[in-house]
Structure 1
Amino acid sequence: MMATIDSNTLALLQQRCPRCHEGQLFTHSAFNPVRFAEMPERCPVCSQAYEPEPGFYWGAMFISYAFSTAIMLVTGFLVYHLLHDPAVWVYVTSVAVAAVLLTPLSLRYSRTIMLYLFGGVQYQPRRYQPAGNR
């Protein structure tokens, strides 16, 4: 069993359940190239549903778009300043590589933020019945 995190921000950063802050939101590592986006249907600790309604995570596309824009701007800025304004193909290649490599993190944090901000779930320390005692 994982240690409880009292801070919503730390629980979000560690991608834990918004209700109990103990259960993991994703079943596989972010480094798994095929299954990095898989989520269990419910929290393994408190049984909180991770998809409050069908199609809930469509809204995460807008958050992901913001992440992608930030990745492109930061990468372009770094290329400009570190490589002293190289050719256009260097910008395009750098941005494309950064976007592809950071896709798993962008998707996972988009879903996590969506669930924390719009999922209607509040942190309830120890107000639930553990999964093994039902």
Structure 2
Amino acid sequence: MSRIQSTPLSLLALRCPRCHEGPLFKSSAFNLSKFTEMPEHCPVCGQTYEPEPGFYWGAMFISYAFTVAIFVTSGVLLYWLAGDPALWVYIATVSIAALLTMPLVLRYSRALMLYLFGGVRYEPNRAAGTSRP
């Protein structure tokens, strides 16, 4: 894997916040049986992905904000593009949009939580294979 120099791009690529190389998740978001699984440590630099027990409970609030944005966006787009359809169309569209984006919402809410509140900063000269608690 190549190192990404930019922190926002590394976040979008779901890479380790310290080395910007190691993946944050074990499998693809399309693998619906394993899309939530994260390794305990970065395979490149050894950074712990769970700074403390229950750390990702805070990601629920980030996930909630993402979901509200999806609800509002899909509702407004439906209103403008479909000309204010019946209520059941809104409910079906918003529900389908929320279900389809659930794996990405979960992954990006966890990544954002780790990047913002994990206490980990990018170390561009971090040697591979060395771990520091």
Q: Which residue of 2 aligns with 1:31?
A: 30
1:38-77 equivalence runs, <5 A = 38-77=37-76
Q: Which residue of 2 aligns with 1:22?
A: 21
Q: Which residue of 1 aligns with 2:110?
A: 111
Paired with 2:129 and 2:52, the residues of 1 have a C-alpha distance of 23
Q: Is the 8 A contact 2:45 2:126 kept in 1?
A: no
Paired with 2:15 and 2:86, the residues of 1 have a C-alpha distance of 42
Structure 2: gaps spanning 5 or more residues: none
Q: Which amino acid aligns with 1:115?
A: L
TM-score by length of 1: 0.95
Paired with 1:108 and 1:129, the residues of 2 have a C-alpha distance of 24
Is 1:86–2:62 an aligned residue pair? no
Q: Which residue of 2 aligns with 1:123?
A: 122
Structure 1: gaps spanning 5 or more residues: none
Paired with 1:39 and 1:24, the residues of 2 have a C-alpha distance of 9
Count of aligned pairs between the two proteins: 130
Over aligned residue pairs, what C-alpha RMSD do you find? Answer: 0.9
TM-score by length of 2: 0.95
